[in-house]
Amino acid sequence: MDKIADLLAIVAAILALAAATSATFYLLVLGVHQPLYVVFSILLIGAFLLLIYFSFAREVSPAPIRQAPERVAVAAPQPVLPAQVAATPTPTIISIARLETRDGKIIPVTGIRQVFGRRDFMGFVDPSLASVISREHFSIFYDFRAGRFFIEDRSSTNGTLLNGAEIRGKGPVELKDGDVISPAGVLQLTFRV
């Protein structure tokens, strides 16, 4: 745009020069005897010179440097699956068996060998009775060679009952679906596969 403006200023100066020259020539040749025409011709020539001076003497400001816009990487939108919309991350528990309380609450058996103790049963038994359950009371494990579950008392203080019989000190005892486990006799748990 600045180049076009400069070109137009040059064209205007040339046209002004031509007009001033022809007017001055007309006034000087035809109106030699009139002093007013001479003064008017001198003023026209002066105005023309000032016009040229100010046209070319003006400071040309450099055009602002335009930087290329920054390129921002935009990731393609990922599809939202229905399960991702309202789901909050929850751990997935894979249960190979479970212990059920009389009121239907479930304690999952999630490992091949899992130890149960006081901490596992705190929400299922009265806090005053929880103290009779040992910190590590009994363990349930799966024997791959035999293809069966077993329970073993872990030298608990108050023993473990399996279907009403004490198993403390007897080592691993086979555990079948529907067997009732009672740590220290204060909680009834049904084993389910």
Q: pLDDT (tens digit, 9 = 90+) per residue, 48-81?
A: 666 666 666 555 555 555 665 565 555 555 655 5
**C-alpha Rg value of the chain to the nearest Å:** 52
Tokens of 97: 């068996």
Q: Is residue 83 within 8 Å of residue 91, measured between CB atoms?
A: no
> Distance of CA 136 to CAs 7, 114, 155, 160, Å?
97, 10, 8, 11
How high is the mean pLDDT of the chain? 78
Rounded to 5 degrees, what are φ and ψ at 151?
-125, 145
Ordered strands of the 113-116 beta sheet: 113-116, 138-143, 148-153, 173-175
Tokens of 11: 């064209």
Q: Which pLDDT tens digit goes with each residue over 3-49?
A: 776 666 677 667 666 766 766 666 666 655 666 666 666 766 776 66
CB count, 10 Å around CB of 170? 13
- Give the residue, 10 or 161, on which the prediction is more confident: 161
Q: How far apart are CA 192 and CA 140, in angstroms?
A: 12
Rounded to 5 degrees, what are φ and ψ at 160?
-130, 135
pTM of the model: 0.52
> Dihedral, CA atoms, 102, 105, 110, 112, nearest 10 degrees?
0
